[in-house]
Amino acid sequence: MELPEAKQKFIEAWGKLGSEWGVNRTMAQVHALLLISPDALTTEDIMESLSISRGNANMTLRELMSWGLVEKQLKAGERKEYFFADKDTWNIARQVAKERRKRELDPIIKILDELTKVEGDKKDPAYQTFNKSVTDINKLAKNVDKTLETMLKADENWFWGSILKIFK
Amino acid sequence: MELPEAKQKFIEAWGKLGSEWGVNRTMAQVHALLLISPDALTTEDIMESLSISRGNANMTLRELMSWGLVEKQLKAGERKEYFFADKDTWNIARQVAKERRKRELDPIIKILDELTKVEGDKKDPAYQTFNKSVTDINKLAKNVDKTLETMLKADENWFWGSILKIFK
DNA sequence: TTAAACTTTCAATATATTTTGAAAGTTTAA
DNA sequence: TTAAACTTTCAAAATATATTGAAAGTTTAA
């Protein structure tokens, strides 16, 4: 396989993976494109490479910046804005974990905490089942939360070293 | 908060979480409903509880069964099919991890393995960047894969015990 | 100033996903 | 058999999500 074809495949695969994980396809593709570009790209470059409109490119880039995955780069003596992606995979994973925790895990834990407190007739099977499921899910969510918390603070080698050591 | 309201909230929250994680909202809601039901429910019960059509209920239940999250229950002397959800949170997490690994992680690892092998001019920055990103992402994906593999084999207490011990 | 170079916005449009519900299919009891 | 009880299918409709592109907004150099 030659490089241009390989690039295409990578962008396609990353886009597909994104859309299976709640990230819009174009956003994942722009990210992929920037990940394999040695230099920062302009909005025009991205529009052309991926055949998308200016509006779409602009929105997507802002979204990627809000996720902390892409940054603007200003070049001296140039009006145009250039964009580049953080290439450090561990940073990317951490950044994504951080954002999703904030956006999704935190809110559900808040709701589960409330629901855990709901009182009811301890003899009522409906109440028992509700309470057990909610409590169990809450525990799981908190374990995940703790693990993420540690991951966010950790260094990559240490993290995988520790995890994989357990699983030797 | 009273039980009926709490149930509603739980179904709503689970549905929202699902849709943020690539599971369709209705599927997550049916799952939530079954999780908090002490008894197995019929298609009719589910249609009524969630105000959805027969076709939708049927498709969703089959999908949940294909994920291994819900099972059919046949009651002696009855024609109707009853459905109930596995209430063990650890089983649910494992089941979901197992399916997503098979459906999403495995295919991308296969592609990354191929892309890692692409040859090119080692002096070319475009090739260097491509190769580094692909290789790094491949490593990360394989670490995740190994961790999931172990999680799938593990017992809940052992798993969280080991993880949380490291992160004490 | 001002006009060229660039970025942002957003209503309209296109695309993708989900849901409906009636018809077709299947199973069972008598 | 057969007809009632139940499940499945799937084309059409509804809904949700993503994209376009032209107009409006902003910044800069002269």
**Which stretches in chain A have pLDDT values below 50?**
none
Nearest protein residue to nucleotide D9 (CA to C1' distance) is B55
Q: Which of A41, A63, A85 is the last residue of a domain?
A: A85
Where do the DSSP E strands lie in B11-78?
A: 41-42, 70-74
Same domain, A16 and A29: yes
Output the domain CATH number for residue B61: 1.10.10.10
Q: Say yes or no: A104 and A119 in one domain.
A: yes
User: Shortest Cα distance from A137 to chain B (angstroms)?
Assistant: 6
Question: In whole angstroms, what is the distance from residue B91 CA to residue B99 CA?
Answer: 12
Asked whether the beta carbons of residue B127 and residue A3 sit closer than 8 angstroms, the reply is yes
- Domain with A20, as residue range(s), is 3-85
Picking from B67, B85, B103, the residue at the C-terminal end of a domain is B85
Going by C-alpha positions, the residue among A105, A101, A83, A82 that lies closest to residue A93 is A101
Residues A109 and A41 grouped into a single domain? no
Q: Which of B83, B46, B53 is nearest to B67 (CA)?
A: B83
Q: Are strands B70-74 and B41-42 parallel, antiparallel or unpaired?
A: unpaired
How do the pLDDT tens digits run along chain B, 168 residues long?
899 999 999 999 999 999 988 899 999 999 999 999 999 999 999 999 999 999 999 999 999 999 999 999 999 888 899 999 999 999 999 999 999 999 999 999 999 999 999 999 999 999 999 999 999 999 999 999 999 998 999 888 888 888 777 765
Does A95 lie in the same domain as A131? yes
HSE-CB for B159 with a 13 A CA cutoff: 18
Same domain, B76 and B94: no
Cβ atoms within 10 Å, residue B11: 20
* A–B interface: beta-carbon pairs under 8 A: 147
Q: Is the dihedral of CA A20, A22, A25, A28 positive or negative?
A: negative
The tally of domains found in chain B comes to 2
- Interface probe, candidates A2, A3, A9, A113, chain B, greatest B C-beta count within 10 A: A3
Å separating the CA of residue B9 from the C1' of nucleotide C4: 55
Shared domain check, B108 and B79: no
How far apart (Å, rounded) are the C-alpha atoms in residues B156 and B167? 17
Output residues with Cβ under 7 Å from nucleic strand C: A 19, 42-44, 54-55, 58-59, 61-62, 78-81; B 24-27, 51-56, 59-60, 77, 79
CA distance B49 to chain A (A): 15
Which residue carries 């790209």 as its tokens?
Answer: A41
How do residues A143-167 score in pLDDT, each as one tens digit?
999 999 989 998 888 888 877 777 6
Residues B57 and B103 both lie in one domain: no
The answer to whether B143 contacts A132, with C-beta atoms less than 8 Å apart, is no
What pLDDT score does A96 carry? 94
Whether B53 and B105 share a structural domain? no
B44, B59, B85: which is the final residue of a domain?
A: B85
How high is the pLDDT of residue A121?
97
